[in-house]
């Protein structure tokens, strides 16, 4: 019996030792359970979120804003609740959870630059979410992974906006206050000064968007009048735009190898007609000529580009009557599958917020008296925004376009002095007329940032978007919550719906009332 006891003790000790050794042997030192380097998380976070944003702007946002027209999404008529998770940024919560990991690592290691970057990115993602839905899971969602919260509560949009503005203020103070080099930053290559500009430019977007509900004067003046503390974008060179590369497919524009065939989505009639009425050469960047007007003849010869026709289509009419008679979206959306001679892996950028948008924000703020300078300053900002747009699109034209059938060069997209003196552009008229001109130029400028164009339409009412015969009979004001929220977070979902009045496409969110 005593011998058996010794044997059992020996076996137990051996098993314990083996288990300890097994754990040590099967722990991969090159694949730790917990990431300890914040920079390792940034590339996929930035690329994934920006690509998601760009793709959704094309397939949904620019259609909602009537910059593009689609034969499958007519004024949201088939934008079902089941689409919300995949098409309307709800999956940003996956990125937000990882950003919270970055913040946790940064706080533990005293890396203020990383925390500042994560706060800016997280604020942008939350802004996208709340502007689409209204009340959203916010602070509890931000800490759900770290705190084990499976059903985070929703917060009203005014509280979300206040929290985002506070986070961006904190980010501005953190960035540049420590010396650690930033790795993994595929947006700004570790340039924390540009991240500060991003933070403050995003603050201006938020302040203006909520301006019907909260007076932005004090906060806007504090930013604009202290550029040393609160720098803003100074040109499109430092705007928040992800530059695509060709070193491997994952770094290319997501449209380059997509199935975008130029048939299901067209440039809208409203946008093309407006550009043509102003002799606006951005048309050549935004749209391709109609296939019918640019096709080769029996001898394989194309018409002179001067004879090309540009024509838009309508939303809300179902299938397009004639794909050959309307213009596909232009070079920045083009896929190699549809137009191998025109598609570019690098011409397009993933724009988050542009220099021109900030200039239009400042123009409206000056015109309304939120910042100093009045109409004179407003005109300067307004003109800067327009000029930058032409400069930007001119610079994006691939070199091979000069010898393509389009015969397009940087000199093709210019704004002569006469552009700014015509009635539709000149900064003249009543204050209401000036504000409408700012809104319309801003709408044109947000072609690649479609959901922002839709949000601006909801805020300003410009341009007046026509409603097609197919669909609900109105342009919706928000997005339906994902079906999963009804099932797994019902109590908090119901509270949010109570604040909205109804989980309905017609419900107005807080700043849109």
Q: Is residue 145's pLDDT more than 70? A: no
DSSP H helical ranges for 289-447: 291-294, 355-368, 374-395, 417-421, 431-445
| Number of separate helices (H) and strands (E) present in the chain | 21, 6
* Whether the bond into 463 is cis, omega within 30 of 0: yes
**Residue 167 zone, left/alpha/beta (φ > 0; ψ -120 to 50; rest):** alpha
Q: Is residue 470's pLDDT more than 80? A: no
Confidence of residue 256 (pLDDT cuts 50, 70, 90): confident
Q: What are phi and psi of 136, to 5 degrees?
A: -145, 160
DSSP-derived letter for residue 401 is G
| pLDDT tens-digit map of 420-467 | 999 999 999 999 999 999 999 999 999 999 999 999 999 999 999 988
CA distances from 166 to 76, 124, 142, 358 (A): 34, 13, 15, 19
CA distance 433 to 443: 15
Are 394 and 414 in contact by the 8 Å Cβ rule? The answer is yes
- Characterize 94-125 residue by residue with b for buried, 16 or more Cβ atoms within 10 angstroms of its Cβ, and e for exposed: ebbebbbbbbbbbeeeebbbbbbbbbbbbbbb
- What is the mean pLDDT of the segment spanning 66-86? 65
| pLDDT tens-digit map of 153-185 | 999 999 999 999 999 999 999 999 999 999 999
CATH of 355-448, one of 3.40.50.620, 1.10.3720.10, 3.40.640.10, 1.20.120.840: 1.20.120.840
CA distance 250 to 64: 28
Are 258 and 337 in contact by the 8 Å Cβ rule? The answer is yes
What does the mean pLDDT of the chain come to?
A: 89
Residue in 217, 206, 226 with CA at minimum distance from that of residue 369: 217
| pLDDT tens-digit map of 274-296 | 999 999 999 999 999 999 999 99
Are 272 and 73 in contact by the 8 Å Cβ rule? The answer is no
Cα 156–447–69 angle (5° rounding)?
95
CA distance 513 to 84: 23
Write down the pLDDT at residue 431: 99
CA distances from 222 to 208, 226, 375 (A): 14, 6, 20
Are 457 and 465 in contact by the 8 Å Cβ rule? The answer is yes
Sequence ranges of the domains in the chain = 39-242+473-512, 355-448
| pLDDT tens-digit map of 202-238 | 999 999 999 999 999 999 999 999 999 999 999 999 9
Q: Is residue 488's pLDDT more than 80? A: yes
Kindly state the tokens that stand for 377: 């300053």
Confidence of residue 15 (pLDDT cuts 50, 70, 90): very low
Q: Is residue 80's pLDDT more than 70? A: no
**In the chain, pLDDT over 70 holds for what percent of residues?**
88
Write down the pLDDT at residue 255: 85
| Fold adopted by 39-242+473-512 | 1.25.40
Of all helices (H) and strands (E), which one includes residue 114? helix 112-133
Q: Is residue 112's pLDDT more than 60? A: yes
- What is the mean pLDDT of the segment spanning 41-55? 95
Write down the pLDDT at residue 3: 44
- What is the mean pLDDT of the segment spanning 89-102? 93
Confidence of residue 503 (pLDDT cuts 50, 70, 90): very high
- Determine how β-strand 240-243 pairs with β-strand 154-155: unpaired
CA distance 436 to 440: 6
Q: What is the CA radius of gyration of the chain?
A: 26
Task: Tally the residues of the chain.
Answer: 513
160 CB burial (10 A radius; 0-12, 13-18, 19+):
buried
| pLDDT tens-digit map of 307-358 | 999 999 988 777 788 889 999 998 888 888 788 889 998 998 999 999 999 9
**DSSP character string of 48-103:** HHHHHHHHHIIIIIHHHTTSEEESS-STTTT--GGGHHHHSSTTHHHHHHHHHHHH
């Amino acid at each position: 019996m005593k011998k058996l006891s010794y044997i059992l003790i020996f076996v137990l000790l051996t098993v314990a030792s083996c288990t300890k050794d097994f754990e040590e042997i099967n722990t991969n030192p090159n694949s730790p359970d917990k990431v300890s380097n914040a920079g390792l998380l940034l590339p996929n976070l930035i690329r994934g979120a920006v690509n998601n944003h760009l793709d959704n702007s094309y397939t949904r946002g620019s259609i909602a804003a009537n910059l593009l027209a689609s034969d499958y999404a007519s004024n949201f008529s088939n934008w079902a609740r089941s689409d919300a998770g995949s098409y309307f940024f709800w999956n940003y919560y996956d990125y937000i959870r990882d950003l919270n990991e970055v913040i946790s690592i940064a706080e533990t290691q005293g890396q203020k630059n990383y925390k500042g970057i994560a706060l800016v990115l997280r604020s942008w993602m939350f802004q996208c979410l709340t502007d689409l839905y209204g009340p959203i899971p916010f602070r509890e969602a931000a800490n759900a992974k770290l705190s084990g919260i499976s059903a985070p509560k929703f917060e009203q949009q005014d509280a979300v906006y206040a929290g985002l503005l506070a986070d961006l203020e904190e980010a501005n103070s953190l960035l540049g206050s420590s010396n650690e080099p930033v790795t993994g930053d595929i947006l700004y290559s570790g340039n924390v000064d540009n991240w500060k500009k991003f933070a403050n430019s995003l603050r201006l977007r938020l302040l203006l968007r909520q301006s019907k509900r909260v007076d932005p004067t004090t906060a806007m003046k504090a930013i604009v009048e202290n550029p040393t503390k609160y720098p803003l974008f100074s040109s499109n060179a430092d705007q928040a735009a992800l530059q695509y590369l060709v070193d491997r497919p994952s770094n290319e524009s997501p449209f380059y190898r997509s199935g975008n065939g130029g048939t299901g989505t067209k440039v809208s009639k409203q946008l093309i007609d407006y550009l043509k009425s102003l002799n606006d050469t951005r048309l050549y960047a935004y749209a391709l000529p109609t296939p019918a007007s640019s096709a080769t003849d029996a001898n394989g010869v194309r018409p002179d580009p001067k004879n090309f026709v540009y024509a838009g289509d309508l939303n809300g009419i179902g299938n397009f009557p004639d794909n050959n008679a309307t213009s596909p979206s232009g070079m920045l959306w083009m896929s190699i599958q549809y137009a191998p001679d025109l598609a570019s892996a690098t011409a397009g950028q993933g724009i988050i917020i542009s220099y021109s948008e900030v200039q239009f924000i400042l123009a409206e703020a000056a015109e309304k008296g939120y910042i100093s300078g009045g109409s004179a300053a407003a005109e300067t900002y307004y003109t800067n925004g327009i000029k930058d747009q032409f400069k930007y699109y001119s610079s994006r034209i691939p070199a091979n376009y000069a010898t393509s059938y389009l015969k397009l060069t940087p000199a093709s997209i210019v704004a002569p002095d006469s552009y700014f003196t015509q009635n539709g552009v000149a900064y003249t008229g009543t204050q209401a007329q000036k504000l409408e001109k700012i809104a319309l130029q801003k709408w044109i400028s947000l072609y690649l940032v479609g959901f922002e164009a839709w949000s601006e339409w909801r805020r300003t009412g410009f341009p007046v978007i026509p409603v097609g015969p197919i669909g609900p009979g109105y342009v919706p004001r928000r997005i339906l919550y994902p079906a999963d929220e009804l099932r797994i977070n019902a109590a908090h979902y119901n509270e949010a719906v109570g604040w909205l009045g109804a989980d309905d496409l017609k419900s107005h969110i807080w700043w849109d009332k």
